[in-house]
Amino acid sequence: MPAVGQSVPRKDAWDKVTGKTQYVDDLSAPGLLYAATVRSPVAYGKLHGLDTAAAAAFPGVVRILTAKDIPGRNINPLVLDDQVFLAETEVRYWGEPIALVVAETSEAAYAAAELVKADITPMTPVLSIRDALKLDAPRLYKGDNVFSSYTIKRGDAAAAFAKAAKIYEREYETPYQEHAYLETNGMMAIPGAEDQMTVYGSMQCPFYVHDAVSQILGLPRNKVRIVQTATGGGFGGKEDFPSVVAGQAALAARVLGRPVKLIFKREEDIIASSKRHPSLVRMKVGVDRDGKLVAADITYYIDAGAYATLSPIVLWRGTVHALGPYVCDHVLIRSYAMATNKVPCGAYRGFGSPQVIFASESLIDEIAADLQIDPVELRRRNGLTLGAKTVTGQTIDQSCGLSETIDKATAAAEWAKKWKPPTARTGKVRPGIGISTIYYGVGLGAGGKHLDRAGASMTIMKDGTVFCAVGNTEMGQGARTVLSQIAADALGAPYEMVNVIEADTAYVPDSGPTVASRTTFMSGNALVAAGRELKGRLLPVIAEKLGATSPDEVDLVDGFGIRKSEPAGTKIPYLDLVKEMYQRRLLPSSFGWYVAPNTEFDKETGQGDAYFVYSWCTNVAEVEVDTETGEVRVVRITSAHDMGRAINPQQVEGQIEGGTLQGMGYCTMEEIRHDAQGKLLNNAFATYILPTMEDVPELRPIIVEHPYSEGPYGAKGFGEVPLMGIAPAIANAVYNATGRRIRILPIKPEKLV
């Protein structure tokens, strides 16, 4: 195809590398004010009031706002509708917002915010999953501190365990992970005539923000417009949390009748924004004498933090993926999202899956080591194939490239040559090689199918350029480029003439969130529908001009109208067709709407078609471990991915490389620490350690294509998958080098030594 499958240049590349791109903090407006947030100094307590006298008297301060100033509802609308925009009578985590200081300058707002004193009676906080589970723990949510829970039952696990040749029981833990996007959270709210409110900002989910601003202001939705500005990274961290920031900025703008900008400093962003959930995973797996899985009993806990936010949905995805891409007829999986007095956790690339994947892929390796089976062979024996059923009883009926990813990744990494048991490793610095295999349900699945729809509009301008609007966002992943490629081929116009703009709630209806690796699939299919409708108006013109008897005999491809039977014959340039379209007054616009394929999930048993299709991946990590210092150097990572169809191969490789580094950081160095009172201790890049260019290993991305019949030109979702299986691959490689099994991330030198 002319555009799809080609590594065309990114639409936004030139402006970003030359510094022309305008982010929200680059924007301004006449009469602009600046807001800063006053935050709770304790993790849990009763809020009696605020002393704002000193702050109000600070030069440049215009107003101090509290929950009492909110004209609408003080609830951010998400799954359980429990998180407040500003605390009223209780604070539930250190750093929770309790007031806003609005001033003429950002410096004045921040300085005055430090002067606000809160009258709070501290209470004993709950600071871990294990604490939340205690019978005498303070009750933060209902009677058991459980925001949400799920169960998957398949077969008879208890009976199957009784027949297993061997049973393995292990416990694994994973930490917080900070998104560390380059651009911090920020919003600018501008009040307009007739009570209208427009909010510009950095975000992933404009329609979530739309709901939130409408709710806090008490305005009908046709009075609220949300415009996504260029967004400097998200990774899930700008899914739910920007709704809070936007709501606060819009509140100040509404009350004061002037534009208000609220931009977070890095330290504040780390304190306040959502994180990847810490987890505790208890695995019990039984196998037969050949290592085939016969029974599994898994309990999965996540630390949700002070409010549920997206935790019920994060938990659901993790539950479905808890055993990994393996066949097992007898399964019991139970999962729980626990309330604690820490920053609320939310979406992060992988969305509840990396935690359980670390556990399940570590345990598969432990089983292989005990049975003295090559870890690759054990995965081949148990892996899902066409016709096999998942733990939810779903039959894999197409687009299953797991086996091919295993073959290609291990071949490229020379697994057969390099793998040997840990007992054969000697020397001060020892090499090791490890593997992980994963699958990933594309889209929101049965747990969120009511949101799984997308719209797109397409208009041919008088000069032939094509204007497209979609409801999903570009946050650095290359969505505008990929969607422009799909739109170009669906219409038949040259890629260079197609542009997809940033999301704007005024242009398209609610198209769900930009999460779950759904953008290419959902917005891509909506653009295909819009493009084909618009092309359908041009085909009769082409047929007439080329003397064809029917529009079915002609096509519009890569900027030329052609006869299908004579591709090398007479062609009509696209621009000539556009002129003809306008002369004949044909409608130059179309709209596409796509609803995801049906999914089902029985809440009682956890059985059903949880997702409409799955993406597949195999990672091979190679490390060197200094046995005296415990230092781990990741030398090489080979990753083979089946994403259905690579719309833009170069961008696919870039996603693999970026996701791999995030997964490496998660495994080897990243963690958030709290003190005994719940204060977050390392809220800066000086203390929250991230991989740098010095840590980058050799990266080998491999593209595997098993097209999906319902995808746009065969594509499935892909963006989250590169991160998800990196941690267990590295952990397995560390074990292979040292014989030491680390079950609590991150793998730091002191744990090995």
DSSP 107: H
Give a yes or no: residue 10 inside a domain: no
Burial class (CB in 10 A: 0-12, 13-18, 19+), 707: middle
Indicate whether 255 and 299 sit together in one domain. Answer: no
3-state SS, residue 615: strand
Cα gap 328→382, rounded to integer Å? 8
Q: Are 402 and 384 in contact (CB under 8 A)?
A: yes
What per-residue confidence (pLDDT) applies to 693? 93
pLDDT reading at 573 higher than 80: yes
What per-residue confidence (pLDDT) applies to 33? 98
Indicate whether 417 and 460 sit together in one domain. Answer: no
Give a yes or no: residue 4 inside a domain: no
Please report which confidence band the pLDDT of residue 343 belongs to, taking 50, 70 and 90 as the band edges.
very high
What per-residue confidence (pLDDT) applies to 41? 98
Give a yes or no: residue 295 inside a domain: yes
Indicate whether 423 and 474 sit together in one domain. Answer: no
3-state SS, residue 187: strand
Question: In the chain, what percentage of residues exceed pLDDT 90?
Answer: 98
Cα gap 328→322, rounded to integer Å? 12
Q: How many CB atoms lie within 10 A of CB 162?
A: 11
Query: First-to-last CA distance in the chain?
Result: 54
pLDDT reading at 570 higher than 90: no
pLDDT reading at 625 higher than 80: yes
Please report which confidence band the pLDDT of residue 566 belongs to, taking 50, 70 and 90 as the band edges.
confident
What per-residue confidence (pLDDT) applies to 145? 98
Listed residues 228, 263, 298: the one ending a domain:
263
Please report which confidence band the pLDDT of residue 1 belongs to, taking 50, 70 and 90 as the band edges.
confident
pLDDT reading at 687 higher than 90: yes
State pLDDT tens for residues 375-391: 999 999 999 999 999 99
Hunting for tokens 């085939």 — which residue is that? Answer: 292
Cα gap 77→81, rounded to integer Å? 5
How would DSSP label each residue in 397-432?
Answer: -S---HHHHHHHHHHHTTHHHH---GGG--SSEEEE
Indicate whether 620 and 640 sit together in one domain. Answer: yes
Indicate whether 244 and 355 sit together in one domain. Answer: no
Cα gap 278→287, rounded to integer Å? 29
Cα gap 276→251, rounded to integer Å? 28
The contacts of residue 651 (CB under 8 Å, 6+ apart) are 7, 10, 477, 478, 481, 482
The phi and psi torsions of 485 (rounded to 5 degrees) equal -60, -45
Q: 276, 597, 639: which is closest to 443 by C-alpha?
A: 597
Cα gap 732→742, rounded to integer Å? 9
Cα 186 to chain centroid distance, Å, stands at 19
Which tokens go with 361? 């892929």
Which tokens go with 753? 């030594």
Listed residues 595, 628, 644: the one ending a domain:
595
Cα gap 111→296, rounded to integer Å? 55
Question: How confident is the model over 677-699, as a mean pLDDT?
Answer: 97
Burial class (CB in 10 A: 0-12, 13-18, 19+), 28: exposed
Indicate whether 244 and 332 sit together in one domain. Answer: no
Which tokens go with 250? 């819009």
Cα gap 666→177, rounded to integer Å? 7
The contacts of residue 542 (CB under 8 Å, 6+ apart) are 548, 551, 554, 555, 556, 561, 562, 572, 577
Q: Are 267 and 374 in contact (CB under 8 A)?
A: no
Give a yes or no: residue 164 inside a domain: no
Cα gap 628→365, rounded to integer Å? 25
Give a yes or no: residue 151 inside a domain: no
Q: Are 27 and 229 in contact (CB under 8 A)?
A: yes
State pLDDT tens for residues 198-246: 999 999 999 999 999 999 999 999 999 999 999 999 999 999 999 999 9
The contacts of residue 124 (CB under 8 Å, 6+ apart) are 44, 138
Full domain range(s) for residue 350: 279-446+602-752
Question: How confident is the model over 497-525, as a mean pLDDT?
Answer: 95
CATH number at residue 257: 3.90.1170.50
What per-residue confidence (pLDDT) applies to 195? 96
Give a yes or no: residue 498 inside a domain: yes
Which tokens go with 72? 């609408």
Cα 256 to chain centroid distance, Å, stands at 35
Please report which confidence band the pLDDT of residue 565 belongs to, taking 50, 70 and 90 as the band edges.
confident
Give a yes or no: residue 31 inside a domain: yes
pTM of this structure = 0.97
Question: Left if phi > 0, otherwise alpha if psi is -120 to 50, otherwise beta: which for 396?
Answer: beta
What per-residue confidence (pLDDT) applies to 461? 98
Indicate whether 674 and 739 sit together in one domain. Answer: yes
Q: Are 623 and 738 in contact (CB under 8 A)?
A: no
State pLDDT tens for residues 280-330: 999 999 999 999 999 999 999 999 999 999 999 999 999 999 999 999 999
Give a yes or no: residue 698 inside a domain: yes
State pLDDT tens for residues 423-476: 999 999 999 999 999 999 999 999 998 999 999 999 999 999 999 999 999 999
Question: How confident is the model over 335-351, as a mean pLDDT?
Answer: 97
Question: Left if phi > 0, otherwise alpha if psi is -120 to 50, otherwise beta: which for 71?
Answer: alpha
Indicate whether 505 and 571 sit together in one domain. Answer: yes
The contacts of residue 680 (CB under 8 Å, 6+ apart) are 94, 95, 270, 271, 342, 343, 672, 673, 674
Indicate whether 249 and 291 sit together in one domain. Answer: no
Cα gap 457→324, rounded to integer Å? 38
Listed residues 213, 237, 263: the one ending a domain:
263
Cα gap 716→629, rounded to integer Å? 43
What per-residue confidence (pLDDT) applies to 516? 87
Proportion of the chain in helix, strand, coil states, percent, rounded to 5 = 30, 25, 40
Question: What is the average pLDDT score of the chain?
Answer: 97
State pLDDT tens for residues 132-191: 999 999 999 999 999 999 999 999 999 999 999 999 999 999 999 999 999 999 999 999
Q: Which residues pair with 187 in a beta bridge?
A: 201, 262
How would DSSP label each residue in 118-153?
Answer: EEEEE-PPP-SHHHHHSTTS--SSTTTSEEEEEEEE
Indicate whether 432 and 476 sit together in one domain. Answer: no
Q: 19, 116, 141: which is closest to 63 by C-alpha?
A: 116
What per-residue confidence (pLDDT) applies to 569? 81
Hunting for tokens 């690579």 — which residue is that? Answer: 646
pLDDT reading at 568 higher than 80: no
pLDDT reading at 581 higher than 90: yes
Cα gap 488→480, rounded to integer Å? 12
Indicate whether 310 and 223 sit together in one domain. Answer: no
3-state SS, residue 692: coil
Count how many domains the chain has: 3
Element (H, E) at 361: helix 353-371
Indicate whether 636 and 737 sit together in one domain. Answer: yes
State pLDDT tens for residues 76-105: 999 999 999 999 999 999 999 999 999 999
Cα gap 236→233, rounded to integer Å? 9
Q: How many CB atoms lie within 10 A of CB 598?
A: 10
Alpha-carbon torsion angle 722, 727, 728, 732, nearest 10: 120
Question: How confident is the model over 640-649, as a mean pLDDT?
Answer: 98
3-state SS, residue 699: strand
Beta 589-595 vs 146-154: how paired, if at all? unpaired
